[in-house]
Copies of this chain bind each other. A is one copy, B any other.
């Protein structure tokens, strides 16, 4: 756990200097080749790459209803019950995000407005192996359902033992329409171009490894994508009122995800800084995922001692964390100071895992400082806007000279002509 203190400038430059950069050129070349193959040869290429990378030979890409039913029978009732509760919370939160069309008719003869339409088809990528999280299925699918997406296609890498039954249960509860067992860049390419069995989608969402992320970046524009996800991160802001054992537990819940996860405490209190550090090493000992969490804490963990509250917020906003816990007295008072953060947890009892699983806000969040410009996944990520106008001849007559002047100034005479022709004598 690295300990930083001093001026905000010094701390920020220190934080920057440790940011790692990966050379992705080789991966990019591989991924482009895979995409080209899937584009050209469809299912045949998909099956070929599945055999090559996943070591599974499939006769059918689609997961059958029988397989889904069998999987559901393996899942215990309390788990299904909890998924249903989580679903209800996620739905009630996301329903509030729903945007509505508007129409403006303030000027006689002029109607202006905006429509909100759902995307038609969405593809959800669900990673395989230990990164297969049922909660992620709910978080990616439910906003699309609320947006009104008619066809939700899930893809996930195949495995010898079949697909994780908890993931299949979550897909069923969330309302996924079709599931295909294909992963990696070949899965993303299949969704972007469509194959004989897998439909072309309008947007691809969901996390994945570097091959999946690179493939998503490659097909961006042909389809929409959610975001470029990096390692997960948490910043905890704490003052003397905070509880070091809570802070340590929350930092560790982030650290156990991945050795690259970043867990950062920023505090104005030397006492809290020291006690949290002690707590971290004590709690670490008892964790089943100790190896991962310890490496994350060692290489990416930071305790930052800020000179004052203003510095604390400045450093945090510059980091722009995915998750932000505000363990300060009267935390609601500081909402105004928070400019850049994906998901905000206010007070001692809004522990990050509560948001990860249950409270309702989405857990698909902007990482690696992108909360400066990206948002949590939400209903509007599954809709698009269209504007519309309607003018009567009389309304257009009032504006025609202005439009013609602008068009001529831009050297676009056909634009001017399109207006003029509507007021020429009929021949």
Chain A positions near chain B (C-beta within 8 angstroms): 78-79, 82-83, 85-86, 92-93, 96-97, 99, 102, 104, 106, 110-112, 114-115, 117, 119-120, 130, 133-135, 166, 202-203, 217, 220-221, 223-224, 227-228, 245-246, 249-250, 252-253, 255-257, 283, 286-289, 293, 331-332, 335, 338-362, 366, 370-376, 378, 380, 384-393, 395-396, 399, 402-403, 405-407, 409-419, 421-422
Contact = CB atoms under 8 A, between A and B. Distances in A.
B388 A343 contact: yes
Contacts of A396: 349-351, 354
Closest 7 pairs (CB-CB, A-B):
A361-B387, A344-B388, A346-B390, A221-B228, A375-B385, A353-B415, A224-B373
B253 A289 contact: no
Residue in A228, A380, A410 whose Cβ sees the most chain B Cβ within 10 Å: A410
Contacts of A344: 115, 386-389
A345 B389 contact: yes
A255 B414 CA distance: 9
Given A119-B373, A390-B331, A409 B79 contact: yes
A92 B110 CA distance: 13
A425 to B, nearest CB: 12
Contact of A385 (B257, B353, B378): B378
A130 B411 contact: yes
A418 B390 CA distance: 56
Given A255-B414, A353-B418, A387-B361, A96 B86 contact: no
Contacts of A82: 402, 405-406
Nearest to A355: B389
Contacts of A409: 79, 134, 166
Residue in A223, A283, A412 whose Cβ sees the most chain B Cβ within 10 Å: A412
Chain A interface main SS type: mixed
29 contacts: A79-B405, A83-B406, A92-B104, A92-B106, A111-B332, A112-B359, A134-B409, A135-B410, A221-B228, A246-B421, A246-B422, A249-B418, A253-B414, A253-B418, A256-B412, A287-B413, A335-B388, A338-B386, A351-B419, A352-B415, A353-B403, A353-B407, A354-B419, A357-B402, A357-B406, A359-B391, A366-B384, A371-B384, A378-B385
A301 B351 CA distance: 59
A253 B416 CA distance: 8
Contacts of A357: 402-403, 406-407, 415
A295 B339 CA distance: 50
Residue in A119, A249, A338 whose Cβ sees the most chain B Cβ within 10 Å: A249
Contact of A283 (B114, B119, B166, B417): B417
Nearest to A341: B386
A391 B356 contact: no
